[in-house]
Amino acid sequence: MDAQCTSKLTRRHFLAATAAGAAWAALGAPAVHAQERLITMLAWSNFAPHSDVVLDQLAQRFTKETKIAVRIDHMHHRQLIAKWAAEVESQAGHDIGVLRMHFPWLYANHLLDVSDIAEELEKKHGPWYDFAKEVALVDGVWRAVPYYYASFPCIYREDLFQQVEEPVPQTYDDLLRAGRKLKKLGHPAGFAMSQAAYDGISTLSTILWSFGSRPVAADGKTVTLNSPETVEALEWVKAFYNEAMTEEVLSWDDGSNNRFIASGRGSWIHNPISAYVVPKRKNMPIVEKLNFHVPPAGPRGERHTVTIPRSVGIWKWTKDPEAAREFVRYLFRDDVYSEYIMAGDNFNHPIFRDMENHEVWNIDPKYKVLKELGKISHIYGWPAPPTEKSQLVTNKFILPIMAAKAVTGTPIKEAIAWAEAEIKKIYAA
Amino acid sequence: MSGIERLGQRQARRRLWRRRGRELAKYLPLVPFLIFALFPLYFMLVTSLKSDAELYDLKAVPFLIQQGIDFGHYLYLLSTPFLTWMKNSLLVSSLSTAISVCIGILAAYSLARLRFPAANSFGTGIFITYLVPTSLLFLPLSRVIHGFGLSDSKWALVLTYPTFLVPFSTWLLMGYFRTVPKEVEECAMVDGCTRLQALIRIVLPMAIPGIVCAVLFSFTLSWNEFIYALTFTSSSEELTATVGITTELIRGDIYYWGSLMAGAMLGSIPIVLVYVFFMDYYVSGLTAGAVK
Amino acid sequence: MAVTEARARTLLGQRLGAAWQAVHAFFQREAVMGMTFVAPAFLILLVLVAYPFCMALYLSLTDAFVGRPGKFVGLRNFVALLQDSTFRQTLRNAFVFTGASVALKTVLGLMLALTLNQNLKCKRFFRGAVLLPWVIPSALGVLGWWWMFDSLYSVINWTLVHLGLVAPPGPNWLGRKDLAMIAVIMVNTWRGLPFFAISMLAGLVAIPQELYEAAATDGAGKLSKFWYITLPMLKPVLAIVVLFSTIFTMSNFEIVYVLTGGGPMNSTHLFATLTRQVGLESGYLGTGAAISLFLFPVLVFVVYFQLKLARRETL
């Protein structure tokens, strides 16, 4: 430890480090890019993957026509919630967003007014479906343009229904009667009542609405869950749970009902058509036996179901709103729109009423019945506007928990009172 | 052979059996523990190697592969950004480990050896932050990350993982530095070395087991981290293996179990490899905290 | 010309050298050096732990929502939480989950440690095998358990049914409140047991053999040896491991997040999962921060004990 231990060595290090720091600072200077128009769009990774490929092709064609470059990013839908929150917090990010369900409402303050585009489209294609207006028209201003929707039909085993000599259920009484026989046959029906599946919220909303129950009124203030209709609906749910389903529905995740019907055990579920499309793609023999039907009517003839619509919105922080608008308009041009819709195996239904005769419905003869669904579809929270409060009711799984309580021994009135108190608390805050 | 001899032989044999029995009795209690520890892993492996047809066959025996081994689920992983996630995990874990252990060495040495004002409260402070769970901080931290302009970036993880790695490695290394005799260091300094040089040339080499230990544990902790990665990153190309596998392989309600298990197996392999090679360090690291 | 330049350069070099020496000497001072060495760690913890922690405190006193500035609301979030049935359920869950998991891990861990402490062949193999669940990423291990608890394809139920122990379809693990809690406790125990076992094994190894020999000459049996020597000698290790585990079990996230999402009927929600549901997925930052802060009293309690213990050890 002698000569080596002088400070020369360390000084050299010190100087070298300083030089490196200077070089690093120089490199950090921003590179100058040639001026070009670029817009970016963020969408979910579509469950029909081919439609993402086609979307990219369409964007490339747009660039050829207009010299505006487009970059489309896709993200898994579960990650997207946090991503939007981050972009909104930082007021920076993508120019255009493909927004699920209630997001145009949630972030209305951060989205440009696109009423001109929406109104043009309405003139061309006729009045929007109710749900399309409900998700994107915020206080009289269109904050996004409804793009396409996924539907929630009932999926049932045709062969088993024939075996127990039951027709396609038209009412919830029909369904209960059929379910009883099917469970005895060893093939129960099923819908989720758990906290691991949004499916449960979808089906329970469908049932409650059809029985005439409205958890929150259209004013978005009055909690109207505690009603004779809700009691009636839950009595049906309880009977269906005990006589047509099994306990397993209390633990289901979003994939459980698909496995349930594809394994050959289940006889009836309520789910987007993926439960049919995936076995079809995998050439499973069960597909032959599956078919769709419109959700049954409630005791007073009301029919409703849930939809997952997606809309295209332009964020306020965009630097080139004109280019963004142009691209959105392009997406809705007849040929472009049609090509996109055709790419998704009808997982993405066209959102325009005048397209109920579009060839996309002919891809599979069984799809025909699906076009009835758009007219009776709503999103979570309906008829209240889909605000952040409505979102919290959804995310806290209040409706499935209420139902799960009711079928596991809590008196129905008590279960409703619990849910009512929870919802009231959310709306009072 | 006389009767007595035979009797003696029989006794000996009986004694042997009794000894074997006693020997066996030592291992017997281990069996349930081994099953409990290893069965889930075995089952994941089996699931990942089954064809979908067998996997979703209600009549199949779940813990055997009867219809042939199928690598389809592993091949499927290649069509997802799985390799990107693994690379990200590797990058984030190595970088944050390197940063944290360096910072930890300095802090630990200083707290173990040097006298300066407020040293004790520093020590306590670091110890307390070690015990602040990540689940208490992830929400506000996401705002801080955002303030740094690192939302949805793996660099956010490189920045935040040291928050739990630094206290941990400091705490671990302090113990090791205390075991290096002060005299050795003082001797070097008398010979003309500065403290820094003494640290680098004398103390660090002697504390190598501790440093290896800190590196191993930091690497494992970062590789296994979940809640920060889930919160601070969202784009596919920024995700780490744990988050990518648990979120992106679950495509809504489509079948995924085989590939999910395949991903879980592959996502664990790097850490298991590290662990197999350095197991003794693991054990000593685990026990260092408890015994010291 | 050239000569003066060269001389100037050496002069400059000397000056720089002198400055460096001064700086160097300054840093050589123990106090300065000590503080410098601690500074990076201190800075990181200040900016990325202390600051966000204060921010959590502040957020919890506002009604902040994603994309909107928050208003100061005082303790309203905390009061609302205490009146909220979901939160109260979460509080209960956290204590049941932590209490049961830690107790199980302690008892089983001690048993495993005693087993491993025998004179075994293939000692390394056995230690390695039981350590595995602790080594692999917990989020990925939980995926395996998720599939093992599946309502249709559960391997646990398949086995139970085929052994004739239960009637098909077997227990609905993730669908019943009590069973779901048992399930998450089981997975946590699976994950945490190795840590307990190996730590206690180290504690056992460290007990001097002479104590046992002395006890043997006094005629002590196996049980009294365990009770009067092993347990008391193991107490410090045990205390530290238990306290550590309490914190990390209480703040657990991934098991519940992956396995049950907090269900059924909120019966497995923990602080971290509820925080994420309310604070991140629903955007209520203020309420979310308030939920996570309820971990704090527990933390303080544990740290207090820990420090008290550490002091007593060193004295």
pLDDT in tens, B20-56: 888 888 888 899 999 999 999 999 999 999 988 888 8
Quick one: which of A175, A171, A112, A173 has its CA closest to A145?
A: A112
Q: What is the pLDDT of residue A3?
A: 36
Is C276 in contact with B247 (CB distance < 8 Å)? no
Q: Which one, of C262, C277, C175, C271, lies nearest residue A403 by Cα?
A: C175
Q: Which helix (H) or strand (E) holds A292?
A: strand A290-293
Mean pLDDT computed over B260-287? 85
With a cut of 0.90, is the ipTM above it?
no
Phi, psi for A74 (deg, rounded to 5): -120, 145
A80, containing H or E segment: helix A77-90
B192 in contact with A at a CB cutoff of 8 Å? yes
Query: Which residue on chain B is closest to C156 by alpha carbon?
Result: B62
Which three-class secondary structure state does DSSP give residue A147?
A: strand
Give me Rg for the CA atoms of chain A. Answer: 26
* pLDDT at residue B17 greater than cutoff 60: yes
**pLDDT at position A35, please?**
55
Most confident of A229-233, B248-252, C79-83, C228-232: A229-233
Q: What is the pLDDT of residue A155?
A: 97
Q: How many CB atoms lie within 10 A of CB C144?
A: 28
pLDDT at C196 over 80: yes
Distance in angstroms (rounded) separating the CA atoms of residues C247 and C229 = 28
pLDDT band at A178 (very low <50, low <70, confident <90, very high): very high
- Measure the CA–CA gap between C69 and C285, rounded to whole angstroms: 11
pLDDT of residue B291: 43
**Which is the CATH superfamily of the domain at A38-150+308-371?**
Periplasmic binding protein-like II (3.40.190.10)
| Architecture label for domain B79-291 | Orthogonal Bundle (1.10)
pLDDT for C7 beyond 80: no
Asked whether the beta carbons of B254 and A274 are under 8 A apart, the reply is yes
B193 contacts A264? CB cut-off 8 A:
no
Domain extent listing, chain A: 38-150+308-371, 154-293+396-428
User: Is the N-terminal amide bond of A383 cis, ω within 30° of 0?
Assistant: yes
Nearest CB to B192: which of A5, A47, A89? A5
C18-26 average pLDDT score: 77
As a dihedral over the C-alpha atoms of residue A375, residue A381, residue A385, residue A386, rounded to 10 degrees, the angle is -100
- C70 close contact with A: CB closer than 8 A: no
C236 touches chain A (CB under 8 A): no
pLDDT at residue number C173: 93
Arithmetic mean of pLDDT over chain A: 89
CATH code: domain A154-293+396-428 is: 3.40.190.10
Residue B3: the pLDDT is: 65
Which of A356 and B196 is assigned the larger pLDDT?
A: A356
Q: Which of C31, C48, C295 sits opposite B163 (nearest CB)?
A: C48
* Contact between B254 and A47 using a beta-carbon 8 Å cutoff: yes
Residue A23 has pLDDT above 50, yes or no: no
- Tell me what the mean pLDDT of segment A194-216 comes to: 94
pLDDT at B89 over 90: yes
- pLDDT at A33 > cutoff 50: no
Residue B108 has pLDDT above 60, yes or no: yes
pLDDT value, residue B178: 83
Paired residues of A306 in beta bridges? A378
Mean residue pLDDT of chain C comes to: 88
Distances (CA, A) of C269 to A189, A247, C81, C83, C94: 28, 21, 14, 16, 8
Q: Using beta carbons and an 8 Å cutoff, which residues of A are at the interface with B?
A: 1-2, 5, 7, 10, 45, 47, 73-80, 82-83, 86-87, 89-90, 199, 254-255, 257-259, 262-265, 271-272, 274-275, 278, 282
Three-state SS at C151: coil
Three-class DSSP labels, C238-307:
HHHHHHHHHHHHHCCCHHHHHHCCCCCCCCCCCHHHHHHHHHHHCCEHHHHHHHHHCHHHHHHHHHHHHH
Instruction: With both helix axes pointing from N to C terminus, report the angle between B279-291 and C231-250 in degrees, rounded to the nearest 10.
Output: 100
The torsion angle over the Cα atoms of residues A319, A325, A328 and A330, rounded to 10 degrees, is -120
Cα-trace Rg, chain B: 26
* Mean pLDDT computed over B144-154: 88
Is C264's CB within 8 Å of A250's CB? yes
User: What residues in B contact C136, CB-CB < 8 Å?
Assistant: 41, 224, 268, 271-272
On the question of pLDDT at C302 being above 90, the answer is no
* Segment A363-370 long-range contacts (CB within 8 Å, at least 24 positions apart): A364/A280, A366/A276, A366/A290, A366/A291, A366/A292, A367/A273, A367/A292, A369/A153, A369/A292, A369/A293, A369/A294, A370/A151, A370/A153, A370/A273, A370/A292, A370/A346
Determine the distance in angstroms separating the CA of B228 from the nearest CA of chain C, rounded to an integer.
11
Band (pLDDT 50/70/90 cuts) for residue B292 is very low
φ, ψ of residue A178 in degrees (nearest 5)? -65, -45
At residue B140, the pLDDT reads: 87
| Model confidence pLDDT, tens digit, residues A292-328 | 999 999 999 999 999 999 999 999 999 999 999 999 9
pLDDT digits (tens, 9 = 90+) for A257-282: 999 999 999 999 999 998 898 888 88
Q: Does B62 sit within 8 Å of C141, measured CB to CB?
A: no
Residue A312 pairs in a beta bridge with A98, A145
| Residue B160: both structure tokens together | 């935040």
Whether cis (ω within 30° of 0) applies to the bond prior to C264 is yes
A297 φ, ψ (degrees, to nearest 5): -90, 150
B62 vs B284: which has the higher pLDDT = B62
Q: How many CB atoms neighbour CB A67 within 10 A?
A: 10
**B22 CB-side CA count, 13 A:** 8
Q: What is the identity of the amino acid at B83?
A: L
pLDDT at residue A16, as a whole number: 46
**Calpha distance B268→B262 (Å, rounded):** 10
Neighbours of B87 (CB within 10 A): 15
pLDDT, position B254 = 67
Which range in B75-84, B175-184, C212-221 is most confidently predicted, on average pLDDT? B75-84
Q: Does C153 touch chain A (CB under 8 A)?
A: yes
Nearest-CB residue to C84 (from A88, A251, A425): A425
| Domain A38-150+308-371 identical in fold to domain A154-293+396-428 | yes
Q: How many other C-beta atoms are found inside a 10 Å radius of the C-beta of residue C119?
A: 7
Ranges of CATH 1.10.3720.10 domains, chain B: 79-291
